[in-house]
């Protein structure tokens, strides 16, 4: 069943990022509030006009009732208020729910703001403990695997089944860095080569250091309202054309397959709602916590056939001027990855691209975009299709 009633019904009217990288002067709470206020200002609204607030709890500064605490800090009194305790795919799933809340009258204008301080707000010991607690307590944690090792299993499986090479994964890191070069906000802006990736320190075979996302502080926020109301606000609205979710497992040991993800289902549902196909997409932002995730997402979302992701990225498709520019802000591999809020930066970048407001990295053909996030270990997926115009 497709909730076609969401198509063209809501629009993003505000977006904002905080400084990213190492931001020791601001706590996770302060970053979250700063992002929210900046997005509200960008939308041309006063905070008194916000009646919905969604946040994501922070690892560095967890609060039991996080959204309510942020509302208290902001001194707003929303009738729709909730927090998400995990990131990745659920960061976008909650936007799916926020859109439904607006359409059903639960709120008129919702701010979604997420931030964390993984770089300056957590010790190495705290970070290691968080990583080691990810796996199944009976079947995975006992082996002491950190998160990169789980994604290395996925990378190895794709190599074994389809002949994918380390160079293919490395090309993804090189392409995202090419985009980051033109983004003054990106944490890493020096150009890299495939050889640079392959010669960087091995983390979990076959993943090297440059195959892995950054560890960052930072926050981002967006403002969502009805398409009708958006027409009266100063920015060009960015419409939600389609959205879909797919959930396949929680623990990687229980996955039915390591080489096909629930991005296949989430993408099909998003395209069905939008009434579009991959041929209508001008650029994409794909969750890149590790390079293999991008390759598998490209296949599962339909941009290339299963098993052909290596050849597709090797063609230069993901780079500027390629068939499908991917992660135009630099992604988690080069822009920043502040944990649970990491995919929010892909959304704010997409909004700015569709407004034609990104300066040197602006894509000439930016009319329709796909934004995808996944959480867990390729577990929960949400795909959104956004456009400058209703469809």
- Number of separate domains in the chain: 2
Residue 3 pLDDT class (50, 70, 90 cuts): low
The pLDDT, as a whole number, for residue 2 is 52
Does the residue 297 lie in any domain?
Answer: yes
Are residue 324 and residue 207 in the same domain, yes or no?
yes
Identify each DSSP E strand in 278-317 by its residue range: 283-286
| 77, 226: one domain | yes
Average the pLDDT over 215-223 and give the result.
97
Same domain membership, residue 106 and residue 199: no
What value does the mean pLDDT of the chain take?
94
Q: What is the pLDDT of residue 325?
A: 98
Residues 155-200: pLDDT tens digits?
Answer: 999 999 999 999 999 999 999 999 999 999 999 999 999 999 999 9
Which parts of 315-369 fold into alpha helices (H)? 331-334, 344-354
| Whether residue 380 is found in the same domain as residue 252 | yes
Q: Convert the pLDDT of each residue in 328-365 to its tens digit.
A: 999 999 999 998 889 999 999 999 999 999 999 999 98
Structure confidence at residue 146 (pLDDT)? 87
Mean pLDDT along residues 287-305: 98
Residues 295 and 349 in one domain: yes
Residue 4 pLDDT > 70: no
Do residues 307 and 176 both lie within one domain?
Answer: yes
Tell me what the mean pLDDT of segment 195-219 comes to: 97
Handedness of CA 89, 390, 6, 101 (dihedral sign): positive
Residue 334 lies in a domain: yes
Question: pLDDT for 105-147, tens place per residue?
Answer: 999 999 999 999 999 987 777 776 766 667 788 888 888 888 9
Q: Which domain holds residue 37?
A: 4-122+216-230
| Tens of pLDDT, residues 46-59 | 999 999 999 999 98
Residue 354 lies in a domain: yes
Do 283 and 201 share a domain, yes or no? Answer: yes
pLDDT at 13 over 70: yes
- Based on the fold, state whether residues 221 and 312 are members of the same structural domain: no
Neighbours of 25 (CB within 10 A): 9
pLDDT of the residue at 261 = 97
- Quote the crossing angle between the two packed helices 166-180 and 291-300, to the nearest 10°: 100
Percent of residues, the chain, with pLDDT higher than 70: 97
CATH number at residue 292: 3.40.47.10
The pLDDT value given to residue 322:
96
What's the pLDDT score for residue 135?
Answer: 79
Q: Are residues 380 and 253 in the same domain?
A: yes
27 contacts 219 by C-beta, under 8 angstroms: no
**Torsion angle, CA of 232/221/88/165, rounded to 10 degrees?**
90
Q: Which residues contact 344 (CB under 8 A, 6 or more apart)?
A: 91, 112, 114, 219, 220, 221, 222
| Alpha carbon distance 52, 54 (integer Å) | 7
Pairing of strands 283-286, 368-375: parallel
Instruction: Give yes or no: residues 75 and 154 share one domain.
Output: no
- Is residue 129 in a domain? no
Between 332 and 4, name the one with better pLDDT. 332
163 within domain boundaries: yes
Boundary (domain end) residue, out of 203, 230, 257: 230
pLDDT interval class at 208 (50, 70, 90)? very high
Q: Is the pLDDT of residue 379 over 60?
A: yes
Strand ranges in 85-178 using DSSP code E only, listed in sequence order: 109-117
Residue 142 in domain: no
Average pLDDT over residues 218-233: 97
The two three-digit tokens of residue 219, written as one number: 């926050």
Domain assignment of residue 133, yes or no: no
- Lowest average pLDDT, out of 6-20, 86-100, 233-247, 361-375, goes to 86-100
Domain stop point among 207, 230, 253: 230
């Amino acid at each position: 069943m497709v909730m076609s009633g969401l198509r063209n019904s809501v629009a993003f009217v505000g977006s904002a990022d905080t400084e990213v990288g190492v931001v020791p002067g601001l706590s996770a709470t302060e970053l979250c509030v700063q992002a929210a206020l900046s997005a509200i200002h960008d939308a041309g609204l006063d905070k008194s006009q916000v009646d919905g607030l969604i946040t994501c709890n922070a690892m560095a500064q967890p609060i039991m009732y996080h959204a309510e605490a942020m509302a208290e800090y902001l001194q707003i009194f929303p009738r729709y208020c909730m927090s998400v305790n995990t990131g990745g795919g659920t960061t976008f799933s909650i936007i799916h729910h926020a859109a439904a809340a607006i359409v059903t009258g639960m709120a008129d204008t919702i701010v979604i703001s997420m931030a964390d301080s993984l770089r300056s707000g957590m010790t190495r010991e705290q970070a290691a403990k968080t990583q080691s607690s990810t796996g199944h307590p009976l079947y995975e944690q006992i082996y002491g695997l950190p998160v990169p090792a789980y994604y290395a299993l996925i990378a190895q499986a794709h190599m074994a089944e389809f002949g994918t090479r380390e160079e293919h994964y490395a090309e993804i890191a090189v392409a995202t860095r090419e985009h980051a070069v033109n983004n003054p906000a990106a944490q890493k802006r020096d150009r890299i080569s495939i050889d640079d990736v392959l010669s960087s320190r091995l983390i979990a075979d076959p993943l090297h250091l440059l195959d892995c996302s950054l560890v960052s502080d930072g926050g981002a926020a967006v403002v969502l309202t009805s398409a009708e109301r958006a027409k009266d606000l100063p920015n060009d609205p960015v419409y939600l054309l389609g959205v879909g979710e797919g959930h396949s497992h929680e623990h990687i040991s229980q996955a039915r397959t390591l080489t096909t993800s629930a991005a296949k289902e989430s993408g099909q549902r998003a395209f069905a709602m939008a009434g579009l196909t991959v041929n209508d997409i001008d650029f994409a932002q794909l969750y890149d916590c590790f390079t293999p995730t991008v390759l598998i997402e490209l296949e599962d979302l339909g941009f290339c056939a299963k098993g052909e992701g290596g050849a597709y990225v090797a063609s230069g498709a993901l780079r500027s001027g390629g068939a499908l520019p991917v992660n135009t802000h630099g992604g988690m591999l080069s822009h920043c990855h502040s944990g649970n809020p990491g995919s929010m930066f892909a959304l704010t970048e997409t909004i700015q691209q569709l407004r034609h407001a990104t300066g040197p990295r602006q894509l000439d053909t930016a009319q329709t975009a796909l934004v995808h996030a996944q959480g867990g270990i390729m577990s929960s997926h949400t795909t959104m299709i956004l456009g400058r115009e209703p469809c």
